[in-house]
């Protein structure tokens, strides 16, 4: 077994601790059971050789959004605010 340290919100800790006491489990056993339940309900995707890069989504863009040197301004400010900034 691996020993690890985690941080969880206080209220979640209290609720898990109460559940552990009610079931007569240790806190560690309760967290292991929770992790097992989560993995059973959301299995990991299987890859042949480990992790694989998914193919890019077809966004059907007609122009390159990164062609404009101010694309970062557009992304962070929005296109209207970015245009106003460029005018000044």
Query: Does residue 66 contact residue 55 with C-beta atoms inside 8 Å?
Result: no
End-to-end CA separation in angstroms for the chain: 62
- Residue at 26 is within a domain: yes
Tokens for 13, please give them: 């800790």
pLDDT digits 0-9 by tens, 26-65: 999 999 999 999 988 987 777 666 777 777 788 787 888 7
Residue 50 lies in a domain: no
pTM comes to 0.50
Q: Does a structural domain hold residue 3?
A: no
Domain boundaries, position 22: 10-41
Is there a domain that residue 20 lies in? Answer: yes
For the chain, the maximum distance between any two Cα atoms, rounded to a whole number of angstroms, is 68
Q: Confidence band (pLDDT; 50, 70, 90) for 77?
A: confident
Number of structural domains in the chain: 1
CB atoms within 10 A of CB 70: 13
């Amino acid at each position: 077994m691996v020993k690890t340290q985690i941080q969880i919100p206080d209220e979640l800790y209290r609720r898990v601790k109460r559940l552990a006491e009610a079931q007569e489990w240790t806190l560690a056993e309760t967290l292991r059971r929770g992790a097992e339940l989560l993995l059973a309900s959301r299995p990991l995707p299987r890859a042949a050789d480990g992790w694989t890069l998914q193919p890019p989504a077809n966004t059907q863009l007609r122009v390159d959004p990164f062609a404009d040197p101010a694309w970062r301004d557009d992304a962070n400010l929005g296109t209207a605010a970015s245009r106003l900034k460029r005018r000044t």
